[in-house]
Amino acid sequence: MEETPAPSSATNFIRDIIDADNESGRFDRRVHTRFPPEPNGYLHIGHAKSICLNFGLAIKYGGQCNLRFDDTNPTKEDVEYVDSIKEDVRWLGFQWDHLFYASDYFETIFRFAETLIAKGLAYVDSCSTDEIRQLRGTLTVHGKPGPWRDRTVAENLDLFRRMRAGEFPDGAHVLRAKIDLAHTNMNMRDPLLYRIRHAEHHRTGNTWCIYPLYDFTHGYSDSIERITHSICTLEFENHRPLYDWLIDVLELYHPQQIEFARLNLTHMMMSKRKLLELVETNSVSGWDDPRMPTLAGIRRRGYTPEAMRAFCDEIGVTKFNGLTEIVVLENAIRADLNKRSNRAMAVINPIKVVIDNYPDDLVEELEAVNNPEDPAAGTRLVPFSKVLYIERDDFMEIPAKQFFRLSPGREVRLRWGYLITCQSVVKDPSTDEIIELRCTYDPLTRGGNAPDGRKVKSTIHWVSAAHAMTAEVRLYDHLFKLADVSEIPEGEHWKNWLNPASLVVVPSAKLERSLATFKPGDRCQFERLGYFCVDKESTPGKPVFNRTVTLKDEWTKIQKKKGS
């Protein structure tokens, strides 16, 4: 476990609220937050925003942050998710002060319900789901009281206890708060508090056959844990009056609920339901497919926790429901990896180069700098010989304007190697495809500098054919070709918008020898191409590298501009 992340310097409206509360002494200057996921899926980048916010606030103010599993719906939840969520929070660099489960409070919450009944503020409703929906009214039409609303306290208490005792089947009764069926806020129209579910819970087993609903559980959990600021996303704004009502009628310790806008990213789908569908239909390889926005996915993709935290810091926290460009995320990981990644040479789309005037059997070990951003990273030796591979994109038989890489008659530098000049092009006579370049080198330019001081416009990467290792390289791109996935009309098949090129597998890229020692999770920069990491499926016999993100690429930009 690394040390506690430094507190964020970014200010936001929630910090303003906390500052004001500390000023007034409202919570005795305590700050106690919580991150409350339901263990029904894998965490994604949106959750990272919430995690960084809640844990970050606790660090900033010297307070505490709990991890609490909101596990009130036994049919959707599983320990698999509990475990992955813990792992993800730790990976992001945070450690919770207390670990709780809402199910820890089931007995307490049951007693709260009895108290509510005793106060005449809750009743057992025996209507069907349909009837309840009918009587609740609509957004513009008031609801109406149902036939069971005026049961006596004794009758309600008796029925509720028998619900718990397992005397009734699922759906026979529910417990509802008695508030106001004509309320303009739908959440206040006698909200459901408990339902009967004869289902096994991943923690409480078969102890319970009634389970409290979110609204009835969440505020009480916050109150029990003496949370000061209960931070959630915008869609719970309309729940706050109920949150406050439930705590106030029982005269309990009252945390402050604060809502902020969830994260939306271009080219990304954040809906848990749709992510689950991608997994279940094998549109991706799993929850940790490197194209997924899950923390498991981006971790496998090669993202670092430092970059994720920097990103969350940069995007800020507001109540405005915006759409953040994915390049902001990409910029965060580039900035981090640029400083710490060693460089290596890898040729993804190779074309053979023969240095005609280089001795047939000579192999030279050339010194290469590991990381120009970090002198302490030192140097390594890379083998050079007569037959090399270079990137097919680094050669143009008829060079375009502004293309200053290799072409017939032109001299370029091989990184850490020699200056070479292309003398001729060998083509497959049947297909006309270029299969080989014949070049000459200048023996006086070892290391890359010419004694006469002449300059070349371009430096390209290469590997010695005889010494290269072969590896599978997986090139990842955006999962969705559409920037704003919320624009996909409801009902339209959203999977039509998946990017067919989101994964390009290169079966046999040619890699520099030094990469042979890399283990799964190891990261490096393939010079001029991007940042890569070794995939978990990689083995010594069949190495696999994932592209985390490309480098910025001026040449591709120039080409795109010309094309459009």
Partner RNA sequence: UACCCGAUAGUGUAACGGUAGCACAACAGAUUUUGGUUCUGUUUGUCCAGGUUCGAAUCCUGGUCGGGUAACCA
* Footprint on residues 202-241 left by RNA (CB under 7 A): 211, 213-215, 218, 234-239
Amino acid residing at 2: E
Select from 195, 267, 380, 547 the one that contacts RNA (CB under 7 A): 195
Nearer to RNA (CB atom), residue 329 or residue 503 = 329
CB proximity list for 249: less than 8 A, separation 6 or greater: 116, 119, 121
**Residue 70, interface with RNA (CB under 7 A)?**
yes
CA atoms lying within 13 Å on the CB side of residue 185:
13
Select from 98, 119, 133, 226 the one that contacts RNA (CB under 7 A): 133
CB of 269 to RNA, least distance (A): 14
Give the closest residue to 476 by CA, choosing from 324, 307, 301. 301
32 token code pair: 């106690």
CB of 335 to RNA, least distance (A): 6
CB of 285 to RNA, least distance (A): 26
3 state DSSP class of 211: strand
Among residues 90, 262, 340, 513, the one annotated as catalytic is 262
Select from 127, 250, 252, 276 the one that contacts RNA (CB under 7 A): 127
The DSSP 8-state label assigned to residue 255 in this structure reads P
- State how far the alpha carbon of 185 is from the alpha carbons of 64, 136, 255, 457, in Å: 33, 11, 21, 68
* Footprint on residues 465-524 left by RNA (CB under 7 A): none
Among residues 26, 30, 38, 274, the one annotated as catalytic is 38
Nearer to RNA (CB atom), residue 478 or residue 520 = 478
272 is a catalytic site residue: yes
Distance CA 41, CA 274 (A): 11
Nearer to RNA (CB atom), residue 115 or residue 238 = 238
Q: Let me know if 74 is exposed, middle or buried by CB neighbors in 10 A (0-12, 13-18, 19+).
A: buried
Select from 205, 372, 451, 507 the one that contacts RNA (CB under 7 A): 372
CB of 528 to RNA, least distance (A): 4
162 token code pair: 């028998």
**Residue 139, interface with RNA (CB under 7 A)?**
yes
262 is a catalytic site residue: yes
Site string for RNA, 283-322 (x = CB under 7 A): -------------------------------xxxxxxxxx
**Residue 165, interface with RNA (CB under 7 A)?**
no
Question: How many amino acids of this chain bind RNA (CB under 7 A)?
Answer: 89
Q: Are 295 and 44 in contact (CB under 8 A)?
A: yes
Among residues 272, 438, 495, 513, the one annotated as catalytic is 272
Distance CA 186, CA 546 (A): 48
Nearer to RNA (CB atom), residue 241 or residue 520 = 241
Select from 145, 169, 171, 409 the one that contacts RNA (CB under 7 A): 171
CB of 465 to RNA, least distance (A): 20
Which parts of 240-351 fold into alpha helices (H)?
240-249, 272-280, 295-301, 305-315, 326-340
**Residue 379, interface with RNA (CB under 7 A)?**
no
3 state DSSP class of 263: coil
Select from 11, 95, 379, 424 the one that contacts RNA (CB under 7 A): 11
Q: Residue 343: beta bridge partners?
A: 525
**Residue 16, interface with RNA (CB under 7 A)?**
yes
* Footprint on residues 518-557 left by RNA (CB under 7 A): 525, 527-528, 551-555, 557
Distance CA 302, CA 334 (A): 11
Q: Are 159 and 173 in contact (CB under 8 A)?
A: yes
**Residue 45, interface with RNA (CB under 7 A)?**
no
Site string for RNA, 415-434 (x = CB under 7 A): xx------------------
The DSSP 8-state label assigned to residue 485 in this structure reads G
What Rg value do the Cα atoms of the chain yield, rounded? 31
Residue with tokens 């980048």: 45
The residues carrying an active-site annotation are: 38, 262, 272
